[in-house]
Each structure stands twice: as structure tokens, then as C-alpha cells.
Amino acid sequence: MDRSSKEMMKGAAILTLAAIFSKILSAMYRVPFQNIVGDTGFYIYQQVYPLYGILLALCTYAFPVMVSKIVAERKQVESKEEIERILQISSIYLTIVGLVWFLFLKLGAGAVADWMGDPLLAPLIELMAYPFLLLPVLSVSKGWFQANYNMIPSAFSQSAEQVVRVLVIIIASIVLMSMEASLYDVGKGAVMGSLAGSITGVIILLLFLRKQGLSFRMLRSFSFKKGDWTILRQLTVTGTAMGMGSMMLVLYQLMDSLNVYSLLVTGGTNGDAAKILKGIYDRGQPLVQMGVVVATSLSLAVVPIIASAFEDKKSDIVKQQARLAVKAGVLFGAAAAVGLINIMEPLNIMLFQDSAGSGVLAVFAAAVLLASVILTINAVLQGMGDYHLAAWSIVASLFIKYGLNLLLIPHLQTMGAAIATVIALLFVMVMVIWKLRQRVGFLLSRIFYLRLLSGLAGMTIVVQAFLHLPIIAVDSRLVSSVLTLTAVMAGAWVFFKISWRKGLFSPAEVRQIPLGKKIERIFGEMT
């Protein structure tokens, strides 16, 4: 492996760790936030959060990666001045994109809020417009550093952005609730956390640029050349396609924001009750996000190897590593999903103080497995230079999700929204599996799934046995916490004891999985 490949893999590892930290933090803060503001307050923030989630995906995964790719491809053959020109074009284009988003949300906040069925959300949507003005600085700066194999600025800014955002959200909600402010004003305070986090990210990136004697120069006189349209097309089409995977779950949240509450109200549910129902349903978002992060952080660790092997035209290694990634994604995604389904009621009480909506959340938890498989395969396909089918499948699934919401929610309320999400994800999963089989052939054997099912069955039996112990006051938060944590540890031990010893992974594969050696030491060598 040459030096550039080693630098690429090291950089990918740094960015992956930063992404894992940021996603875990982004999931975890919503638990204390819900405890502070209640289900109605949680509903208010979750209605507008998807807008920030889209911005985060664009300026963290989509555009920086594409800018980095364009610069890295051209810096070997282009002059320094031409590279600066590419960065200027990218900056101007992304400034226009940011302005379009800003104007749409700023001027159209009332219309979007009316679409959601809650006009009181308009001021929050207006506030959410401002972070989009920072899109060009966040995207181009990160892309420049990543093109030069310097991942520290991107990782540091991303992590700091989330830390500041979470601190502002929690502190603002505590202060405003103590002042007996309205829940919509508390929501405004939470939205300010997103702006504060984005500004923090920009400041850190500018400091790194200054440290290296660089500056963020965008507006210098120049004229477009014929080849510049290729750059714009790459940023628009390929850049967006590359970011669709990271936006998938937040786009489903946006579909829910647009019509779940309004459909509940038009279906006869009282407005205040509908807000509580939507807030309870939104409890599932951090649970699914956490499950997906845990599952995919293990499976995606081998993706840089796939990208390097594909570039070197080593098809055997590509297929071998693709198989390992999919195995890990299926294994850990299934374990997380089935585990969540089993412990949902006590977990709901432990985290959110009551068991409301546990059945809906259990159905919603199936999304962990589907999303884990989708994101793993999408990353594998991107490692092989295939960006578009998964992206178009996700776009098509948004229409499926929105349409099924219209069909199911009037009859099943939030259970219909959960089912709609699962069906939409199932569609995407089928499409990406089909594409991967086209590229590398059949990956997993029937015996793999049988052995996996035996582990899941063993875990379910043990967890259900714990949950049905004759304990007094099972609705107690303390008892639920003890019961949940005990059941999780026992279920995980049984799952890995059964599955791991069934030979799901070869010894060589175990060595490549993060924590694989430690798991093997605990549960024994594979048979």
C-alpha cells in the first residue's frame, strides 16, 4: 500500500471517529431534552430539526467529500492557481445554494409551517434558515483540508460544533423552562443551539486556515470557463448523491414533520393530543439513530480498504471486504434492532419516564436493521465509485413514505407512520442489495442467516425471561432501568455466545472488525 493510500485510510479513520462521536452525542442529548420539555416540547423541536439535519449532511458528508474529490483528482495536473480557481467556483456555487435555502426557509417559513399544520412553528423555521448561510465556508474548507489528507480540522470542527450545539440546547431549555416561557420559545432557544454550533464550526475552520497561512477568498474577478460546468455538475449531482445516504433518515423525519401532525388533526385527534402523540413517536428517532451508529461504525470500518482495492483493480479483495462489511452490517444491525424491540417498554420508561407508545416504537425499531444494511451497502457501492442508484432509490422511497403516511395514519395514527418508514426502507434495501449483487455477485450464504437467527432467538428468549420476572412496581423508572440494563447485558452475552461460536466470521475477518479480537477473547474462538 503506497503512502497516499495509508494517509487516506488514516484520515478516513479520524473522520469516522469524529462522525461516530457527533452522531452519538446528537442522539443522546435528545433524551434529557425530552425529559426537560416533555413530549409537546419535544414535538416542537423535532418538527424543525430535519432542516438542520439536512444542512449537517450537506456540509459534512456531501459537498466536502465532493470538493475534496475534485481537488484531489486535479491537483496532480493543475497549477496552484487553477486549484484556487476550483475552490472559488465551489465557494460561489455553494454560496448560491446556501442563499437559496436561506431565502426559501426565511420567506417561506409560514407556508412550510402551514403545510406542517402548525403555524406557530414559523418563527422556528425562520431561525433555522440562518445556518445555511455558513454552508460554503463549512463545505469548501473541509473539502480543501480533506483533499490534502488533513482530516484534523474537519474532525475537530464537526465534534466542537455538536458539543456547542448540545450545550446551548440543554442550557437554553433549562433556563427558559425555569422562566416558564412558552414551549415554542423554548424551541427557539433550542434552534439557536444549531446556529451557535455552526458558527463554532466556521470559527475553528477559519483558525486552521489562518494557521496554515491560508484565507477563505471567494470573490475575486474571474470569468467562467467551459470546463467549469463539469465542476458544477459534479457538485450538484454527484455531491448530492454522495450525501443522500447520510440524509436518508433525516429526510424520512422531514416527511413525518410535513404530514404526521396534520393528518392526526384532520383525522379527529385534538391538536394538543396530536402534538403529544407526535412527540411520543419522535422518541424513536434517537433510539434508531443510536442503533444505526453502533451497527454501522463496525461495518463501515472496512470501506476505505474497499475503495483502495477498487482503485488498484484488486477485484478479489473488493469482493472479500464487501462481504465482510455486509456481514457486519447485518449481524450488528439485526442484534441492535431485535434487542431494541425486546426491551422497548422498559427502555422507554428508563429514558422517557413512561411507557407511552412502546408498541409504535418497537415497530419503528425495525428501521435499525434496514438502515444499517442500506448504509453499509451504500458505502460499499460508493467505495466502488457507484453513487447514483442508492440515491435515486432513497428519493423514490420518500414518495413511498409520504404516500403511505397519507394512507395509513388516518387509520393507525403514529403506528401508520412507523410502518410507512419500515416499508420505505425495505424498498431501498432491496434496491441496493440488487445493485451490489450485480457488482460483486452473491455475498452471504443461507447458513449465515440460519446461524444469525439462532443467536437472535437465544437473545430473545433470555431477554423476555428477564422482562417477565415477577418484580413489583415494574413501571418504576429505577426498576425499569435496572431491568433494561440487565436484560441488555444478558441478551448480548447470549447472542454473541451463540452467534460468534457458529463461525459467522473467519479468523481473518475477526481481525479486521473493530473490537473483533476482544469479542473473540470473551466468547471464544469460532468453530
Q: Which amino acid is at 417?
A: A
pLDDT per residue as tens digits for the range 155-189: 899 999 999 999 999 999 999 999 999 999 999 99
- Are 177 and 270 within one domain? no
Do 212 and 267 sit in the same domain of this protein?
Answer: no
Q: Is 195 in the same domain as 297? A: no
The verdict on residue 324 lying in a domain is yes
Is residue 73 in a domain?
Answer: yes
Query: Residue 65 is placed in which grid cell?
Result: 467529500
On the 0-12 / 13-18 / 19+ scale of CB atoms within 10 A, 345 is: buried
24/156 same-domain check: yes
Considering the domain architecture, whether residues 383 and 348 belong to the same structural domain is answered as: yes
Helix axis angle, 446-467 to 315-352, nearest 10°: 10
DSSP string, 442-504: ----HHHHHHHHHHHHHHHHHHHHHHTS--S-TT-HHHHHHHHHHHHHHHHHHHHHHHHTTTS
The answer to whether position 237 is within a domain reads no
Which of 190, 222, 254 finishes a domain? 222
Mean pLDDT of successive 10-residue segments in the chain (527 residues)? 57 75 88 96 97 89 83 70 79 91 96 97 96 91 84 89 95 96 96 94 90 61 68 84 90 97 96 97 94 78 73 80 88 94 94 94 97 93 87 97 98 97 98 92 83 93 86 69 88 86 72 68 59
Task: State the chain's mean pLDDT as an integer.
Answer: 87
**Residue (of 484, 483, 510) closest to 496 by Cα position:** 510
Chain-centroid distance of CA 417 in Å reads: 19
C-alpha span between 421 and 212 (Å, rounded): 46
Cα(139)–Cα(90) distance, rounded to whole angstroms?
Answer: 9
Q: In terms of domains, do 249 and 209 share one?
A: no
Range of the domain at 49: 1-222
Q: How far apart are alpha carbons 43 and 257 in whole angstroms? A: 9
Do 322 and 436 reside in the same domain of the chain? yes
Q: 133 with 197: CB under 8 angstroms?
A: no
138 and 172: one domain? yes
In a domain, 233, yes or no: no
Rounded CA-CA distance 352/285 in Å is 13
Q: How many domains does the chain have?
A: 2
pLDDT of res. 298:
66
CB 260 within 8 A of CB 405: yes
Task: Please indicate, yes or no, whether residues 211 and 262 belong to a single structural domain of this protein.
Answer: no
> Contact, 37 vs 45, CB < 8 A?
yes
Question: Do the domain assignments include residue 390?
Answer: yes
Task: Give the pLDDT of residue 219.
Answer: 46
Question: Which residue, 294, 438, 452, is CA-closest to 375?
Answer: 294
If asked whether residues 321 and 212 sit together in one domain, one would say: no
Residues 191 and 335 in one domain: no
- Is residue 229 assigned to a domain? no
Are residues 1 and 88 located together in one domain of the fold? yes
- Of 175, 190, 222, at which residue does a domain stop? 222
Q: Is residue 482 part of a domain?
A: yes
Tell me if 234 is assigned to some domain.
no
